[in-house]
Amino acid sequence: MPDPHYDFVIIGSGFGGSVAGLRLCEKGYRVLMVEKGRRFAAADFPKSNWNLVDWLWMPAIQFRGFFKMTFLPHVTVFSGVGVGGGSLVYANTLPVPKAAFFTSGSWAGLADWGAELAVHYATAKRMLGAARFPGVTPGDLVLQEIARDMGRAGEFEPTDVAVYFGEPGKTVPDPYFGGEGPDRTGCNSCGGCMTGCRFGAKNTLDKNYLWLAEKRGLTIVANTEVDGVSERPGGGYTVRAATSTGWFGKQRVHYTADNVVFAGGVLGTVDLLLKLKEDPAGLPRLSPRTGDFVRTNSESLIGVTSARRDTDYSTGVAITSIFHTDAHSHVEPVRYAKGSGFFRLLMAPHAGGSNAFVRLGGAFASMLRDPVGMLKMYFVPDWARYTQILLYMRTLEGTLSFKRARTPLTGFRKGLTSALADAKAPEAFIPEATDIAQRFAQKVGGTPCSLVSETALGIPSTAHILGGACIGATAADGVIDAQHRVHGYPGLYVCDGSAISANPGVNPSLSITAMAERAMSFIPERSP
């Protein structure tokens, strides 16, 4: 039988792919979306992140969850997998970047980005159901006190989050799309946003963009990973993929399309583009900038585990407030739900330094100074309940390059790895972040901790990997143009975090959504 043919094939179902799916279907196109992860209903999400089979994405051993950890030489990346992409695991937070974001990086000057994107930010907020967090948590109170101590009390505020609050635990007909969307249930402040909302309160993409797109004809194929795209004689593209379930006997599938949208997130899109650029039968004319300008939010993640048992830091939504520490930096309190203590296995005492000897010496000194506190950190009865994670972010740039190579981390197979770029790379330790964590620890009788990969190896962690297929005026400057079209390949687009071309300095999901809305606005209605 001939290969199924579509007007558009979208690779990935995260924020960019979901926007593309809905807007293209609204314009009358026949659209296929291919997602390597599985579909999740509310009941499929694990009760805690100790349920590794349903939480972690490690398909080689048949862990088919939605949370993926990728260890690269210069950064550890947390990302999402599944129908709905990163929305399944993200912290719901929807800030708009400051003005500098729109005038920095490789896209600077190619459009009036701030003005053009304003209407699309508004649309993205409406579609994602942005609402101001209505409560206050114990962690918020401590962070607010720190803001006062630092003379910046006016720089503390609640977050705008993609959550339906309503009446806690009460299910109501769709409150967002005139009854066309699914029923929703009011948030019960369990803190489980990042292990998958089991109660229908989190506004994940399967409850807005994807829900509406499927009603308009979008076809979603899950458990299928694209590994090839090539030009067809006479125009259009062939998309090759394989089912990603089972130990053996993966099925090969092929689709043809006039257009293809890459929306698999940085780890998916950039890896695939680099692979296709190497392949003479793939997309060898891709920009030499493919894989360049990979950046994070220059963030620092520090946990503070309290020795006290009179305060619960797990209640609320994943992120409930923001403290702007200066013009280019801020810190947010992050939480997991009670019982989700998997990360305690990966923690070490927080200790900065320029090399491993200094860091390990600092960690050992911390243990000697407070051995009881250290033991309590590791043996606390409920790590999530008594630990507040502090996420510090800043707009200052630091970039890497991604490439494909054989390394121990890839099992000596050809796979994605990182390399130092000309610019300063992201750092694992930021003095201001450490200072705030120590202030927090003093107020709660706690102990600061970081991932062992940071303390031992100095490798920073990020939940916000961006870039690698950035916007540039020509192929010498970037992979895509100002309308997200791939240079040199008509009909190819990139609509995900790979297209972010400067450091937003804030949680990027809203920006990815707004940029995808703008990109889709340039595509005309389908001709009859």
- Per-residue pLDDT tens for 489-522? 999 999 999 999 999 999 999 999 999 999 999 9
Say whether pLDDT at 31 is over 90.
yes
Apex 132 CA angle, 127 and 134, nearest 5: 135
| 402 lies in some domain | yes
Q: State whether 183 and 252 are in the same domain.
A: no
What average pLDDT does range 25-43 have in this prediction?
Answer: 97
| 66 lies in some domain | no
66, 81 Cβ separation under 8 angstroms = yes
Say whether pLDDT at 179 is over 70.
yes
What sign does the CA torsion over 30, 34, 35, 40 have? positive
CA gap 434, 450 in Å, rounded: 10
**Region of poorest pLDDT, from 75-89, 285-299, 351-365:** 351-365
Of 436, 463, 490, the position where a domain reaches its end is 463
Give me the catalytic one of 74, 330, 464, 487: 464
398, 425 Cβ separation under 8 angstroms = yes
**Region of poorest pLDDT, from 199-203, 457-461, 463-467:** 457-461
Q: How many CA atoms lie within 13 A of 426 on its CB side?
A: 36
What pLDDT sits at residue 154? 95
What pLDDT sits at residue 423? 64
Q: In angstroms, how far apart are the furthest CA atoms of the chain? A: 75
What average pLDDT does range 64-69 have in this prediction?
Answer: 96
Q: State whether 10 and 105 are in the same domain.
A: yes
Specify the number of domains making up the chain. Answer: 2
Condensed to tens digits (0 to 9), the pLDDT of residues 430-457 reads 889 999 999 999 999 998 999 988 888 8
| 209 lies in some domain | yes
3-state secondary structure of 452: helix
Q: State whether 161 and 222 are in the same domain.
A: no
Model pTM score: 0.95
Q: State whether 293 and 318 are in the same domain.
A: no
Q: State whether 97 and 221 are in the same domain.
A: yes
267, 77 Cβ separation under 8 angstroms = yes
Q: State whether 384 and 290 are in the same domain.
A: no
Say whether pLDDT at 2 is over 60.
no
Q: State whether 335 and 443 are in the same domain.
A: yes
- Those residues whose C-beta lies under 8 Å from the C-beta of residue 408, and which sit 6 or more positions away, are none
What pLDDT sits at residue 115? 97
Of 435, 463, 491, the position where a domain reaches its end is 463
How would residue 3 be classed by pLDDT, with cut points 50, 70 and 90?
A: low
Q: State whether 255 and 391 are in the same domain.
A: no
What average pLDDT does range 240-260 have in this prediction?
Answer: 86
What sign does the CA torsion over 326, 295, 191, 430 have? negative
Both tokens of 491, joined, read: 């009909």
What average pLDDT does range 94-106 have in this prediction?
Answer: 94
Q: Which CATH number does the domain housing residue 254 bear? A: 3.50.50.60
Q: For residue 320, give the nearest of 334, 330, 306 by alpha carbon.
A: 334
CA gap 452, 431 in Å, rounded: 18
Say whether pLDDT at 46 is over 70.
yes
**What's the mean per-residue pLDDT of the chain?**
93
The domain in which residue 237 lies consists of 1-39+82-129+203-297+467-528
Of 463, 479, 499, the position where a domain reaches its end is 463
Q: State whether 140 and 124 are in the same domain.
A: no
Q: For residue 229, give the nearest of 496, 522, 493, 501 by alpha carbon.
A: 493
Pairwise pLDDT comparison (2 vs 81), residue with the higher score: 81
| 215 lies in some domain | yes
Q: State whether 365 and 401 are in the same domain.
A: yes
Element (H, E) at 372: helix 371-379
What average pLDDT does range 111-133 have in this prediction?
Answer: 98
Say whether pLDDT at 203 is over 60.
yes
Q: State whether 153 and 288 are in the same domain.
A: no
464 in catalytic set:
yes
Q: State whether 321 and 410 are in the same domain.
A: yes
